[in-house]
Amino acid sequence: DIVMTQSPDSLAVSLGERATINCKASQSVLSSSRNKNYLAWYQQKPGQPPKLLIYWASTRESGVPDRFSGSGSGTDFTLTISSLQAEDVAVYYCQQYYNTHTFGQGTKLEIK
């Protein structure tokens, strides 16, 4: 199994400030043959299903605001929200799809 570990578990950021969430995989999720990282980020709000934000570690899903960005490769990844908006309050999950699927434990993002 590939274990995904996120940090921190919770995060409070002021409106307009940057939020950064980290995700570490227990083994590389980089495909050398395709040169792609099989890593996605999801946003989940209460009472809603998860929403895909970013895939291939850094590609934004259609319609996702450009304040959301993803980076990293191999085993270490980061989701950054450049300027936090009130509607960004949610739980964020990283997920690997290199070998079946595994989610991180989630990071709860709140307004400071």
Partner 1 sequence: QVQLQESGPGLVKPSQTLSLTCTVSGGSISSAGYHWSWIRHHPGKGLEWIGYIYYSGSTYYNPSLRSRVTISIDTSKNQFSLRLSSVTAADTAVYYCASAIAAAPLDLWGRGTLVTVSS
**Which residues make up the interface to partner 1 (CB under 8 A)?**
1, 38, 40, 42, 44, 48-52, 55, 61, 91, 93, 95, 97, 100-106
Is 29 or 84 the residue whose CB approaches partner 1 more closely? 29
The whole-angstrom separation of Cα 56 and Cα 69 is 12
Share of the chain residues as helix, strand and coil, in percent rounded to the nearest 5? 5, 50, 45
Is 16 or 100 the residue whose CB approaches partner 1 more closely? 100
Phi, psi of 77 (to 5 degrees): -135, 155
The token pair that represents 36 in the structure block: 């792609």
Is 1 or 16 the residue whose CB approaches partner 1 more closely? 1
Cβ of residue 96: shortest distance to partner 1, in angstroms?
10
